[in-house]
Amino acid sequence: MRTRKNIFWLFFLLILFVNDSFAFRIRHGRAISMGGGHAVSARGVEAVGWNPAFLAFSDGPAYSFNLPLINLNYKFSNDLLSINLLNEYAQEDRYLTKTDKLDILGSLDNDNLDFDTYAYLPVVAISFPTSEVNMALTADLCLSGGAVLSDQFLRTILLGYTADDTGTTRVFTGDAEILAAWRIGLTNAKSFDMDEIEWLDELTAGFTVSYYSGIAYADILEGHGELYMTSTDLKGNGIARVIRSEENASGTGIGLDLGIAGRMLDRKAIVGLSWINISSSMEWNNLTRHRYSFEVDGAPAFDQLTDSWLEDHLQTVDEEVSKSERAITRVPSVFRVAGGYQLKPTLLLTTGLDFQLNNSPGEYKTAEMGAGVEWSVLKFLPLRAGAKLGGHKGFTLGTGFGLYLGNWRTDIGWSYAGGILQSAEGFSFGINTVFFFGKNENSPKPSVVRERDEAPKRRPKGKGEPRKR
């Protein structure tokens, strides 16, 4: 059992902290807590990555900036593990019965064991006005992850082999990708005077050009293994072809975001459309290809495997094949519709609809619809809640709050996916801090329309100039 547990937990830790695949999709503490409906309330540097047009809204700040202190967003989800499952089965002195193991296998959402993890760190960002537009400069660091392993791996770890499996072969497959990258962005946004359109109070448009610079990359191009049981022992072999960055490797890419937004109904309603990462790829050069293989011959029955036997008999080979490989990494391209309505001065309702237009590691081609509410009866402590349907996990529930003290704004949010609290199979957390200064002077101010011209008033008799005789 000890060997089996070590293998399982080693794999779990590798997925959680190492197997990170690229998905540069910006997240925010307020968005996590409001079912993704954060976009309509994003102002200043917060608008970057959601809808660049919101940078130019008249109720935004003239200047805003953030620092890496108190800024972090993290997500983890899978198709099996939850706090309830770990509390029930991962007890130190508990021995798993066959019924327990079958219950664990029955908890899999599909035929594969999927893991996704994501970490996003805003390093530095600043927004400021110019004579005609509002601009923002941003730099972010992203690590995101996804790996897929066939359920046969978990089945063998839990159930091992029995006499009924004699003469059968079990096949294991897996896939994972590793990447870390910087994103440096320039955002421009402008507000337009819309006095001639009665129902539209304000119109803004903007774009963001991003430059991606790779830090590290690896991709398991092929992961395959077999385990065969005879009447007396086990035999196995496997191979993994991996392409990864080493010295002199480089990765670059260009991204483009477009956005348009409007305010109406006496500025109480907001609608925004944005397309994030229209250009959705990153190119890597001078990668190194490796071929890893292993072989096990004459192993005792699976339940009798020990750490020492594996160390003495497991033969592995690391063969370098090429040093001039090239790879293309997908960046998630998202089309977003966002809306919001200020029902009361203290009550904001938001909604959002995201369409991911491509498959990328750690992200899936799917649609998500979310809604949220923000209650600001205490202006310095807005409370938030939201829910989201769709996506990989189907259902997400979030909550959080803000802490606004003068120019200081900190937003904290967390959410549960595929369940609630301890039954959830996914968890997201975000904390973001930004500083706002001044009022946006570039945007046209609301105009006062006079319904009709009034006739000049007559002077009362006996006042003003004397009457002529």
Give pLDDT tens digits for 417-450.
877 766 677 778 889 999 999 987 766 655 444 3
Task: Classify 51 as helix, strand or coil.
Answer: coil
Q: How confident is the model at residue 342 (pLDDT cuts 50, 70, 90)?
A: very high
CB neighbours of 383 closer than 8 A, spacing ≥ 6?
Answer: 374, 375, 376, 401
Give pLDDT tens digits for 134-171.
999 999 988 877 777 777 777 776 776 666 777 778 78
Q: What is the Cα–Cα distance from 42 to 51, expressed in whole angstroms?
A: 8
- The amino acid sitting at 450 is R
What pTM was computed for the model?
A: 0.76
CATH code of domain 2-437: 2.40.160
Instruction: Name the DSSP class of 41.
Output: G
Determine the pLDDT at residue 87: 66
467: its two tokens = 């009457």
Determine the pLDDT at residue 413: 93
Residue 283 scores a pLDDT above 80: yes
Q: What is the mean pLDDT of residues 309-319?
A: 66
Domain boundaries, the chain: 2-437
Of residues 106 and 142, more confidence is placed in 142
Q: What is the mean pLDDT of residues 342-350?
A: 93
Q: What is the 3-state secondary structure (H, E, C) of 245-306?
A: CCCCCEEEEEEEEEEEEEEECCCCEEEEEEEECCCCEEEEEEEEEEEEEEEEEEECCHHHCC
Provide the pairing of β-strand 63-66 with 426-437: antiparallel
